[in-house]
Amino acid sequence: MSFINEEAIHSTLDDAANTEPARQREALAKARSGERLTLSDVAALLSIRDADLREEVHAAAREVKRAIYGNRLVFFAPLYLTNHCVNNCLYCSFRRDNRALVRATLTQDEIRHEVEILLDQGHKRLLLVAGEHPTQSALDYIGESIETVYSVRRGNNNIRRVNINAAPMSTEDFRTLKSFGIGTYQCFQETYHRETYAHVHPSGPKHDYDWRVEVMDRAMEAGIDDVGIGVLFGLADYRFEILAMLEHVRHLEERFDGVGPHTISIPRLEPAMNAPLDSTNSPWTLADEDFKTAVAVLRLAIPYTGMILSTRERPELRRELFDYGISQISAGSRTDPGGYHRDTHEYAEQFQLGDHRPVREVVRDVLSLGYIPSFCTACYRSGRTGDRFMSLAKSANIGAICTPNALATFEEYLKDFGDEDMRRIAERIVEEEIARMPEPIGRKTREMIERTRRGETDVYI
C-alpha cells in the first residue's frame, strides 16, 4: 500500500515546468485566500523563478504564519540517547559501516546529567533521538529513558514535554510507546522517491520503504495523534519531495478524520563523518534561495501544521526562515550522545551543524527580531492533541491560548535565565503583544505573567 503516486507527481511537475506567470499568480491568490492548495497549485508556486514573484510568495507565507502562529517561536533541544545503529544510511555518521565512530548508549545517570544541563539552559521540551538497534535502543530502554527525563528536577524546573524520534515500530509497540507519556512521535521518510530511497538506505531494516512510509498509520492507529514527518532535502528533487510529503499529509487526514501530522521537519543534507553522500556531492543539493521558497510554499500548502527548523542551518538563514513559516526551532543542540555534559566530544555528531550558539544567545536574537521565545508545552498536557489541536488551529482561535502561554513561559525563562538587557527588550515586545489582544485575553495574560513574576511556575491555559 503506497499513497505516494510517483508517476502522478512527476507528471504534475512536468506540467508545471513552463507555468505562465498568470497561473503562478492565480495559485498565490488562492493561497492568500486561505483556500486549500492542490498539488498542481503547489507545483505552480514551486516553478516560480522570478525574484519579485518569489518575494510575494515569501510575503504571503509571512502573513499566513502570523495569522495562525502569531510571532511565537517554540524552543526545544534534541537529546541523543545512542549512536548505535544497524542501518547504513549513506548520509549519516551513525551508519553501521562507519567503523571509526566511537559508539555509546547513555546510562540513566548520564541521561539525568544531560537533562540537568538542558534545564539549566532553560529548556522545557526535549526531542529524544536514537539510532535503530535491537538492544541498544530497545523499547524498554526508551521507556526508562523517558521516565528518567520526566523525573529530573532543577529547582522548580522540569522537562514538561518529551517528543521522540525513533525507528518505526509495530502498532502494538506504539501503544507501549504512547503509554510512556510522549508528546510527538517523529519519523522522517528521508526521501519519498523509491529508487533513491533504496540507494541511500542499502541495508538494514530501514531499507524497507513501505514499512517506513506506513509508520504514521500504525502510530495513529495506536492512538499517538501528534506525529511528525519530514524529508531530508538533498537526496532527491526537492519539488518531488514536497509534493510527496503533501500526499502523505492528505493520506493521513483522509484516514484519521482530518488529522494530519502535527509537525513537519525540513532538514537539508549536511556533511557527516565518513558519510559517502553529502551536500558537496549530491546532485540534488538544495540551494538557499530555493530552500527559502520551499519553506514558504510549504507554509502556504499546510498552514496548520507546525514547521520545525533545526540548528543544521546557519544563524543568518534561520533568521530569514523564521519569517516564512517556521514555528518551532531547536537551539544549543548537540547531536552526539552525552554531548551536553561531555565537553571532550569523543563521540562524533550525527551531522555537521550550522548554528552553534548557546540557547541564551538564540533567545536574545529571536527577541531582537520581534518574536516571542516560547517554552510552552501546554497543549498535549491539556489533551489538545490530534483533532482537538487541529480544530483549534483551523478556527484561528489558537492564538488566544498559545500567545498567553508563550508569554507566561517566556516570563518564567526571563525570571530564571534572563538579564537586564533581555528583560528591557522583552518588556516592550510583551506590552505590544498584550496591547494587540482582545479582552478578556489581555487581562488573563497579564494575570498569568504576574503569577509567574510572583514565583509560580508552569502557568498555562
Instruction: Give me 405's grid cell.
Output: 502561554
Q: Which is nearer to ligand SF4, 85 or 326 (CB)?
A: 85
Residue type present at position 209: Y
Closest separation in Å from C-beta 277 to ligand SF4: 11
Q: Which is nearer to ligand SF4, 94 or 238 (CB)?
A: 94
Q: CA 389 to CA 459: how far, in whole Å?
A: 19
Calculate the dihedral angle through the C-alpha atoms of 344, 351, 287, 325, rounding to the nearest 10 degrees. Answer: -90
Q: Which is nearer to ligand SF4, 96 or 123 (CB)?
A: 96
Closest separation in Å from C-beta 341 to ligand SF4: 21
- State phi, psi for 10 to the nearest 5 degrees: -60, -40
Cα atoms in the 13 Å half-sphere on the side-chain side of 409: 28
Q: Which is nearer to ligand SF4, 206 or 239 (CB)?
A: 206
Instruction: Give me 49's grid cell.
Output: 523563478
Closest separation in Å from C-beta 321 to ligand SF4: 23
E-only strand ranges, 83-226: 125-130, 161-165, 185-186
Closest separation in Å from C-beta 235 to ligand SF4: 11
State the DSSP H helix or E strand holding residue 79, giving kind and residue range, or none if neither.
strand 72-82
Residue with cell 485575553: 441
Count of positions on this chain that bind ligand SF4 (CB under 6 A): 9
Instruction: Give me 457's grid cell.
Output: 511556575
Q: Which is nearer to ligand SF4, 65 or 96 (CB)?
A: 96
Closest separation in Å from C-beta 92 to ligand SF4: 3
State the DSSP H helix or E strand holding residue 285, giving kind and residue range, or none if neither.
none
Binding flag, residue 409, ligand SF4 (CB under 6 A): no
Q: Which is nearer to ligand SF4, 85 or 402 (CB)?
A: 85
Binding flag, residue 267, ligand SF4 (CB under 6 A): no
Closest separation in Å from C-beta 287 to ligand SF4: 23
Q: Which is nearer to ligand SF4, 274 or 281 (CB)?
A: 274
Calculate the dihedral angle through the C-alpha atoms of 20, 25, 27, 31, rounding to the nearest 10 degrees. Answer: 160
- State phi, psi for 215 to the nearest 5 degrees: -60, -40
Q: Which is nearer to ligand SF4, 237 or 349 (CB)?
A: 349
Binding flag, residue 131, ligand SF4 (CB under 6 A): yes
What pairing do the DSSP bridges indicate for beta strands 328-330 and 306-309? parallel
Q: Which residues contact 48 (CB under 8 A, 6 or more apart)?
A: 19, 24, 54, 57, 293
Q: Which is nearer to ligand SF4, 325 or 338 (CB)?
A: 338
Whether omega for the bond prior to residue 134 falls within 30 degrees of 0, making it cis, is: no
Q: CA 347 to CA 430: how far, in whole Å?
A: 41
Q: Which is nearer to ligand SF4, 136 or 327 (CB)?
A: 136
Residue with cell 549512536: 83
Q: Which is nearer to ligand SF4, 95 or 248 (CB)?
A: 95
Closest separation in Å from C-beta 335 to ligand SF4: 10
Closest separation in Å from C-beta 105 to ligand SF4: 13
Binding flag, residue 248, ligand SF4 (CB under 6 A): no
> Is-contact 272 98, C-beta < 8 A?
no
Q: CA 62 to CA 52: how far, in whole Å?
A: 15
- Encoded one letter per residue, x for contact with ligand SF4 by CB under 6 A and - for no contact, window 191-220 reads ---------------x--------------
Scan residues 71-110 and list those touching ligand SF4 (CB under 6 A): 85, 87, 89, 92, 94-95
Closest separation in Å from C-beta 275 to ligand SF4: 9
Binding flag, residue 132, ligand SF4 (CB under 6 A): yes
> Is-contact 137 131, C-beta < 8 A?
yes
Closest separation in Å from C-beta 420 to ligand SF4: 43
Closest separation in Å from C-beta 206 to ligand SF4: 5
Question: DSSP alpha helices (H): ranges in 273-419?
Answer: 288-301, 315-323, 359-368, 378-381, 386-394, 399-417
Q: Which residues bind ligand SF4 (CB under 6 A)?
A: 85, 87, 89, 92, 94-95, 131-132, 206
